[in-house]
Structure 1
Amino acid sequence: MKLRWTSVAWSVAYLLLLLSLATPLTVITMFFLIVPGILLYTTLSTRVFLLHVAGVWLAVSLIFGPVILLQAVYFIIPSIVMGYLYKKRVPAFRTIMTGAGTILLEFLLVLLISTVFFDFNLATAIEDLLNTAMTPFTNVADSSLTGGFVWSPEMSQQFSSLTVRMIPFTMIVFSLLIAAVAHAISRPTLSSLGHAVPKLPPVRDWRLPRSLIWYYLIGVLLQWFGGESVQQGFMGTILLNLMPLLQFLFMVQTASFFFFAAYHRKWNPVIPILLIVAMLFIPPLRIVGILDIAFPLRDMITRSRR
């Protein structure tokens, strides 16, 4: 009975999240949309899961029309993938990465279909959106409100082009964030319902592969000595997405090292959090993560305590 009422509650939550897609709240709620599907798929049989989802989809289509079901399908697929992996007791890291990869592949497929069959041009759409949003700043250089700032059509074109080139990085981070949020909510919820689900190791034990150092070094050398042809070509697009992604990973490794040092040195738990906040304002601190990957800093910390 408890499980059945829990399933009904999560179906209602799923319905509310789908309804939010037609409101400005979708900017926030999209990060939680796959959670109810994960919980329902993991705790229910496939037949009962389909009945719950069908009931929710029927209700939302009656309210907003069948078009919204396209978005519902988009978010239910990663829910099923992650739910299936939870049922198989797959390690947490693999589940998160698989879920993120599914979301990323879906986006690329949607973009491909929109471009090929509906003649959708993402760069043009972004440029039109920017031009509309920045119209008040166009040709108003003498206005005291703008301080002489003028937003020209050329700036819109340049920014839209840069945005399109940064899509891979944006979607990778976006997909990882959705999958990570889903795991952070789903794992303890499933555990409370009696479904043992593997959890991620403590942050202090996270270790990234050393090969990232070589990728970063190659990227830096190409940026320094690649010339204009490399910066503007296909390789330039790769670097434009690869370097911020590597820098983000190094920041994650730095955070892991701070927690590792605090754990073994018996620091106040607030200290690593303060160091991470400082790193957000002082990006060069991520070099700690690079050194942690390249050299045995952790062995030095643990050895000194023996």
Structure 2
Amino acid sequence: MNNGRRVAEGGALLALYSILLFITIYVPLLSIVTFFFLPVPFILFAIKQKLSWSMGYLFIASLLSILIGTILSVPLTLLMGATGIAIGYCLKKDKPMATAFISAVLVFLGGAIIIYAASVLITNVNYIEMALNMLKQSVENPVNIMGSLEQAQTEKIKTRMNDFIDMFYTLLPSLFVLMSVMMVLVIFLAAHPIVKRFSHKTLKWPHFRDLRLPKSLLWYYLITMLLALFVNTDKNSFVYMAITNLFFILQFFILLQGYSLIFYIAHVKSWAKAIPVLIVVFSLLLPIPIIITAVRFLGIIDLGFPFRETIKKKE
């Protein structure tokens, strides 16, 4: 491809990105949708061009974002642009879809952490910690009002709420990871039809029912669970935070494997498509821990035993 065509395509994609960025900044409701399409121009450009050209494209887009918005819009462009380039580069090199997804998650996660750390460094304000402290203070007033009724019950409620807030703070690293996973997943879904239409690549995922995570994940889960049970550490220590976050992430993936097995069983048994969806929705919305535990148990069985093959043979 000659340089003139590269410049022409780059200009068209820059125009597309400018429109998306303008809507994202200035149109509140529509911005919820356009936000997830911001990486698309970078994906399309990275699929066809060299990595060096893609980085130059990101640099120009960052300068352009200052004209469209303010200097504060540059981090958004860098974050979404780098994520898009990571996806496009993996597609260009025909990497497996899992590799493209993991690469995008790592880039998005790293970018989000850098942006947040920079904002804390510049403003000298830890916004998450400040929000949690405000939440703790907001809990105090209603609980204190209840104190006139029954002091013991009030203290119990206050302790539970404070423990929940403390656990939320402990799990912040895991929540950052899960946030990145969900954001990149939506970006993939948004970009798929456009990438398919305007390039020879595709972002189509295999069926969720065919998800098979590595069996080694089960060993990591069991080892971490044993560490969580038998390693006594201070709740403010790094070891406690590391074990808690690792266990939380592994539980999430085990749960994901359990849901995949439910969809597989529904497919083999020819259930109505709405049934596994309803199972997922109700298990997540209903405050009944035993349901989530049962799904997680299915995930353990699916990883540890040839359960799917047994079901398929019976059919």
User: If the length of structure 1 is used for normalisation, what is the TM-score?
Assistant: 0.77
1:303 counterpart letter in structure 2: K
Shift in CA distance, 129/76, structure 1 to aligned 2, threshold 3 Å: farther
- What is the CA distance between 1:258 and its match in structure 2? 1.8
| Aligned residue in 1 for 2:23 | 16
Q: 2:273 aligns with which of 265, 269, 275?
A: 269
1:46-85: CA deviation from partner (whole Å, max 9, x where unpaired): 7699669846853x53454323223322322112211222
| Aligned residue in 2 for 1:302 | 312
Unaligned runs of 5+ in 2: 1-8
| Aligned residue in 1 for 2:292 | 283
The separation in 2 between residues aligned to 1:125 and 1:225, in whole angstroms, is 33
Q: 2:249 aligns with which of 245, 249, 253?
A: 245
- What is the CA distance between 1:9 and its match in structure 2? 4.5
1:14 counterpart letter in structure 2: L
- What is the CA distance between 1:187 and its match in structure 2? 2.2
2:105 counterpart letter in structure 1: A
- Kindly indicate whether the alpha-carbon contact (under 8 Å) linking 1:35 and 1:79 is maintained by their aligned counterparts in 2: yes
The separation in 1 between residues aligned to 2:11 and 2:112, in whole angstroms, is 34
| Aligned residue in 1 for 2:98 | 93
SS in 1 for 2:202: coil
Unaligned runs of 5+ in 1: none
- Kindly indicate whether the alpha-carbon contact (under 8 Å) linking 1:11 and 1:36 is maintained by their aligned counterparts in 2: no
- Kindly indicate whether the alpha-carbon contact (under 8 Å) linking 2:37 and 2:191 is maintained by their aligned counterparts in 1: no
1:289 counterpart letter in structure 2: G
The separation in 1 between residues aligned to 2:142 and 2:23, in whole angstroms, is 38
The separation in 2 between residues aligned to 1:194 and 1:105, in whole angstroms, is 28
- What is the CA distance between 1:98 and its match in structure 2? 0.3
For the aligned residue pairs, the C-alpha RMSD in angstroms reads 4.0
The correspondence of residues 1-306 of structure 1 with structure 2, limited to 5 A, is 7=13, 8-9=15-16, 11-19=18-26, 30-42=35-47, 54=60, 58=64, 60-62=65-67, 64-113=69-118, 119-121=124-126, 124-130=129-135, 137=142, 139-141=144-146, 161-197=166-202, 199-227=204-232, 229=233, 231-280=235-284, 281=286, 282-286=291-295, 287-305=297-315
Identity level (%): 24
- What is the CA distance between 1:171 and its match in structure 2? 0.8
- What is the CA distance between 1:154 and its match in structure 2? 9.1
The separation in 2 between residues aligned to 1:76 and 1:186, in whole angstroms, is 13
- What is the CA distance between 1:6 and its match in structure 2? 7.8
Shift in CA distance, 172/79, structure 1 to aligned 2, threshold 3 Å: same
**Matched residue count:** 297
1:192-244: CA deviation from partner (whole Å, max 9, x where unpaired): 224222532221211111222222222222333333x2655322212221222
- Kindly indicate whether the alpha-carbon contact (under 8 Å) linking 1:13 and 1:36 is maintained by their aligned counterparts in 2: no
- Kindly indicate whether the alpha-carbon contact (under 8 Å) linking 1:92 and 1:198 is maintained by their aligned counterparts in 2: yes
The separation in 2 between residues aligned to 1:265 and 1:109, in whole angstroms, is 47
1:258 counterpart letter in structure 2: I
The separation in 2 between residues aligned to 1:231 and 1:48, in whole angstroms, is 45
